[in-house]
Structure 1
């Protein structure tokens, strides 16, 4: 049986085909079953065709494993304090354990294969991002262009989730500028930039700006280019901020900044006054109210977790402030619309600390790949900048879950494998 699987896989590249199905369906709504089955079969093929020596490579991930299992341990402890134990355990299974399995599979896949097969996987990643960018542009055209918020096949008309894929797309186009395929990178950059404009979500625009800043800050050694680029971006931001006085509430950055002085004047239940009297948009005011109520609670009780789970926010807030209803936001949603705030509420300061280290470690090893892996340095750039874009989205929505999170973990697995390979090559040379 195993020999047959190996023979079929060697001849038809079954593993790559299954990964293609997995990657191409991730930015599509309501096809979770296809994603799950394709990856499950891929995992079976992978485990059936992999020697034990490659599984031992997992031991080299000791720093990552310490961070991950620290976060997992805090999440499991939080279950004892959860207002809904079933939901907490369900989200731990679906948003921590399942993605970890995906990460390990991608790690083993990259570790066991040569450069040629790794390139095949990278081609698949790029191709899938291009396909969905083109679909998104078509959706934007069908929606009569601006100000329609195109969301591809994922959340068309809203666009917040697809915006994450858009920032990953712009990241890979920038990464290609560090290869011999610069012309392709420029073409894709234009296509992906149009896709971001068509997406028309604030978090995506912020993510794009942070990607540009990070690109010049971390990947260019020429100080003159770095200074001119950063200065240009800064001038653009200042100019846009002052010119936004004439925009509607959605993009009126100037008004948002000058009205921050009123945030301490009202309790979260009164933040609707910011809409009526200070011209803040509803989405801005409601987010600020939801974030403030969490900060008020964690100032009083920074350590004890409340139970892991993005979808417990509403119930948790109503429970902790049942004796102080003025601290309950005037508008409550099922999620906190900020993954950092959500984790701070559910896991406390220790959980948030581990989560931030978890993100930082990916940025660290991605930059290491850029510096020391000549063949795949562009992959390091892609993952680093894509993570920056993802972090920007997480600051304004609850997106550390679903298909976006799975994509993040696949790239984490790839980065870990390239990191280990790079270190082994350097040690071998020395």
Structure 2
């Protein structure tokens, strides 16, 4: 192990009270953050000094797995195997020390409680936190989890996602009214067919898609758009052609592994793309059409290029049927392209997933209209302020998250919690 990494691992082990542990193995992997950005993590596995010999791939009870961000030198994850900890007493707060746990999180992360993260409702021996600025959530969000065992010892800590500071926020008073929110929610209403596995049938349900509405009411932002930003582009282009291309397609193995070398982690002279520009879109679209002409030669006009997404060295294209039904589960294709050469490398056809529902009874003909369904759901529409990251402004801007956790049976008119479907 590189000298710098070795010092980092040892210092972290001391901080976590692992004096009676030894370093068994380590590796490095890459972790993505805001689109176009990534960090390298040093993952270390520490065994108790008196642990019994085990299979090389297994960790004994009480082993500690600690992931550290190499650049910031901050701990990202701590896991004690099988909820057993042999760390020195006093190294971590215990289950009954809520305030001490929050202070410990502030110290280990460098974040400030209330200004950058907030506590969510506690579940038994687990504490959940989410990213928030002045107690207003952010999106894409960050989460912190802390778990304790039955003896009250800390056995898990993890932090993932984004935790912006106040200077990354475009502050303004929340101005969305009920009338505005309801009109947007009504526009998001759709009639869908949902599979009910217990009854082996499709059910017609009206529901409203959750979206973000900017505080100035100028833009509705989908969750996909807010999460992916410049690395994601919605296209919705029907793919048509005159002739097939008689050129066999040979898939190339795709490497989505997150493993990295010490050299990559310590130098990180990455020149990979951070966003999709117009040239990327045009060349990728042409290659997708060429791919379809080779692999699905008889499907002209049957596929819609729905989106392009950048992931590491690949552009991933998502294609959906041009004539889409109401079913929430539909056939789709994912095509992987080289992000530099724009050549199709491999693909996934999710046709087999649809076959699972072939024997399901079709949905009954809807009785309710969209307006009638919305009247039943109106009181269940909720809006909460959320700061959503804007790529153009490089700031988090204030939006309202418009959400409805209920749907309406389009035949009976019964209001149903969506999590029960």
TM-score (norm 2): 0.26
Larger radius of gyration: 2
Normalized per residue, which structure has more helix? 1
Normalized per residue, which structure has more strand? 2
